[in-house]
Amino acid sequence: MMKEQWIQYITHLQNHICQQLEEVDGKEKFIEDKWERKEGGGGITRVIANGDVFEKGGVNTSVVYGEVTDTMRKQLSIDGEKWFACGLSLVLHPINPYVPTVHANWRYFELYDTNDVKTDSWFGGGCDLTPYYIFEEDAKHFHQTIKNAIDPFGDGLYQKYKQQCDEYFVNRHRNNEARGIGGVFYDHLRPKDDAEAQNLFEFQQANSTAFMEAYLPIIQKRKNISFSERETEWQDIRRGRYVEFNLIHDRGTLFGLKTDGRTESILMSLPPRVRWEYNYQPAEGSKEAELLEYLKPRNWID
């Protein structure tokens, strides 16, 4: 069954990603927190902090299930009696402002009727990059690597899911300023049969594998760049925008908080340090001001 296959995969994926991140950090290890949900299921939260590369990061898996509530029907526009959800979500906040923050998740959802017969299922996920300073070659590498993974599954899919990412990760209350430079975002990929479900499973595998190939080289190139208090202050200000998006607009965060989800795991995505300054404007012509010109949809691949 796809459900069991997916659970096994994300368990392996969590172990693999955490191992790679510990190697690149070189100092700290992930601490593990296993938790249970009284309504059904549970998860494994892994957090790394105060390392040589990562100031804070989390790689979480969850396998949860329960009754479909009125809140779920309203928030998710779903119709069923019982549900199952399983996924991996990660957010990494590096110390060095020249290394971007990154987010990714891959998930699978099933719905059942009163007789526990599956009536619907879908995949979702994606990844996106949030730099504090722009290196065009890094942005192109990130997008190209993701595109290379998606292309075998259909013409035009990368562009479609890139556009969905550009439209989703936006602080509309900040004059439609993007959270970062995007990536891909997709949801409700519904398989029509077992063969299509397997194809979507392989699509998720390809994307999650490509994520590490897209992000790790950027860390290696930028983690040793010298920086000062100026760059750290700018990083804190931009992290404020990250927090605003997650608490005001992010559907997953809002849904989790409104449905008695595990708060510590939901808010793991927030940075450990942040700053808001009234009407802050970077100096004209500065590297900080340059970033703002890139926080809008852009074609990163020639």
For 54, 73, 266, the CA distances from 144, given in Å and listed in that order, are 24, 37, 30
Query: ∠ CA 144-150-151 to the nearest 5 degrees?
Result: 85
Torsional class of 279: left (φ above 0), alpha (ψ -120 to 50), beta (otherwise):
left
- List, for residues 95-115, the tens digit of each pLDDT value: 999 999 999 999 999 999 999
Q: For residue 187, what pLDDT is reported?
A: 94
Per-residue pLDDT band at 256 (split at 50, 70, 90): confident
Q: Is 103 a catalytic residue?
A: yes
Q: Are 91 and 269 in contact (CB under 8 A)?
A: yes
Euclidean distance between CA atoms 194 and 127, whole angstroms: 26
Q: Are 191 and 199 in contact (CB under 8 A)?
A: yes
Mean pLDDT computed over 254-268? 79
Kindly give the residue spans of alpha helices, DSSP state H, lying in the chain.
2-25, 70-76, 136-150, 157-168, 194-222, 229-248, 251-258, 263-266, 287-292
Per-residue pLDDT band at 153 (split at 50, 70, 90): very high
- List, for residues 14-33, the tens digit of each pLDDT value: 999 999 999 999 999 999 99
Look up residue 53 and give its amino acid. Answer: V
Q: For residue 116, what pLDDT is reported?
A: 93
- List, for residues 55-90, the tens digit of each pLDDT value: 999 999 999 999 988 877 877 778 889 999 999 999
- List, for residues 157-210, the tens digit of each pLDDT value: 999 999 999 999 999 999 999 999 999 999 999 999 999 999 999 999 999 999
Q: Which percentage of the chain shows pLDDT scores above 70?
A: 99
Q: Are 300 and 139 in contact (CB under 8 A)?
A: yes
Mean pLDDT computed over 270-294? 96
The rounded Cα 141 to chain-centroid distance in angstroms is 18
Per-residue pLDDT band at 259 (split at 50, 70, 90): low
The residues facing 182 across adjacent strands are 129
- List, for residues 29-39, the tens digit of each pLDDT value: 999 999 998 88
Q: For residue 61, what pLDDT is reported?
A: 96
Residue of 93, 103, 141, 143 with catalytic role: 103
- List, for residues 215-224, the tens digit of each pLDDT value: 999 999 999 9
Would you say residue 266 has pLDDT above 90? no
Euclidean distance between CA atoms 59 and 67, whole angstroms: 26
Q: Which percentage of the chain shows pLDDT scores above 90?
A: 87
53 phi/psi in degrees, rounded to 5: -115, -45
Nearest to 132 by CA among 253, 25, 225, 251: 225
Q: Does domain 2-272+285-292 have CATH number 1.10.3300.10?
A: no
Write down the mean pLDDT value for the chain: 95
Mean pLDDT computed over 238-264? 86
